[in-house]
Amino acid sequence: MTLRVFAPAKINLALHVTGQRGDGYHLLDSLVVFAGVGDWVTAEASDQLSLRVTGPFGAGLSGDNLVLRAARCLGVTAALELDKQLPVASGIGGGSADAAAALRALCGLTGRALPDAAAVLALGADVPVCLAGVPLRMQGVGEVLTPLPALPACYLVLVNPGVAVATPAVFKALARRDNPAMESIPQWATASDLATWLHAQRNDLEAPAMALAPVIAEVKAALEARPGCLLARMSGSGATCFGLFASEELAKAAAGVLRDEAPAWWVAAAPVLPPTPPRT
């Protein structure tokens, strides 16, 4: 039996750093969604644990892969394959998304129940939210997850300039760690309503990441300049930035122009998941 599971990119539409724990980990308040672009994890029953990595960003991976760590955490063996479509160390949770997809595939293969948030937090602060895989408010260091009102249909353009940004370095470069939490969450009727609310929120990691990798400011400005871009912001600890659009046509047009303008950048247009059916 073989199972193939999608590992969607995780996007922090807002990311507030509200404190720091005694162990150094930061307290977060984040609006997290998933995009219709991502990696794929395949698991086939085997009495040995193995991993084959393919895909355009597979060569950029070294060291202990989070997919293997997820399998060891469950105590399950399988022949795993990771098709790495997302840039590595880029603020869109690629490694955490892969770990969550591996957990799903391995639990599906063996008939086990999915582990809970507390059990998978040690794999990475983003693994619980990636395992949930639906839009959520994420708090604590990543383990406190609260459902959101249904999101309006909206589309993202993701742009990564090819500069890997190390998450610990960005947190370390923060000027303040006691920033205000997100404002209370309303019901958004349209993508424009969502953007208006998001404009009053922040990504507190944007300034320190831009200080470490100034090209991030260029990426954000390039997205902001595209017609129909309702909001441009960095995701996670960077360097990927997203633009929020109300329609697939506008998102695809923006992505096309950005690919022409900066052929070295990774550019993807994708819906926010789950895609909402059009209102009748």
Ligand X SMILES: Nc1ncnc2c1ncn2[C@@H]1O[C@H](COP(=O)(O)OP(=O)(O)O)[C@@H](O)[C@H]1O
What amino acid positions are annotated as catalytic residues?
Answer: 10, 126
For ligand X, the binding residues (CB under 6 A) are 61, 63, 65-67, 82, 88-96, 98, 126, 167, 236-237
Query: Nearest distance from residue 179's CB to ligand X, in Å?
Result: 20
Task: In whole angstroms, give the CA distance from residue 236 to residue 234.
Answer: 7
Largest CA distance in the chain: 53
Among ligand SUD, ligand X, none, residue 168 binds (CB under 5-8 Å by kind): ligand SUD
Q: 12 contacts which partner out of ligand X, ligand SUD, none, CB within 5 to 8 A by kind? A: ligand SUD
Question: Backbone dihedral region of 93: left (phi > 0), alpha (psi from -120 to 50 degrees) or beta?
Answer: left
In the complex, least distance from residue 143 CB atom to ligand SUD, rounded to whole angstroms: 9
Residue 55 backbone class (left: φ over 0; alpha: ψ -120 to 50; beta: rest)? left
| Closer of 166 and 221 to ligand SUD (Cβ) | 166
- Each residue 222-241 as x (binds ligand SUD by CB under 6 A) or -, in order, gives --------------xx----
Annotated ligand binding at 89? The verdict is yes
Counting contacts by CB under 6 A, is residue 115 touching ligand SUD?
A: no
CA gap 139, 127 in Å, rounded: 13
Q: How far apart are CA 99 and CA 111, in angstroms?
A: 18
Instruction: Indicate the Cα dihedral angle 117, 122, 124, 127, nearest 10°.
Output: -20
Which CA distances in Å does 203 have to 14, 56, 136, 181?
5, 28, 16, 11
State the minimum distance, in angstroms, from the CB of residue 185 to ligand SUD.
Answer: 17
Bind-site residues = 87-97
- Where along the sequence are the contacts to ligand SUD (CB under 6 A)? 12, 15, 25-26, 28, 30, 91-93, 96, 124-126, 141-142, 167-168, 171, 236-237
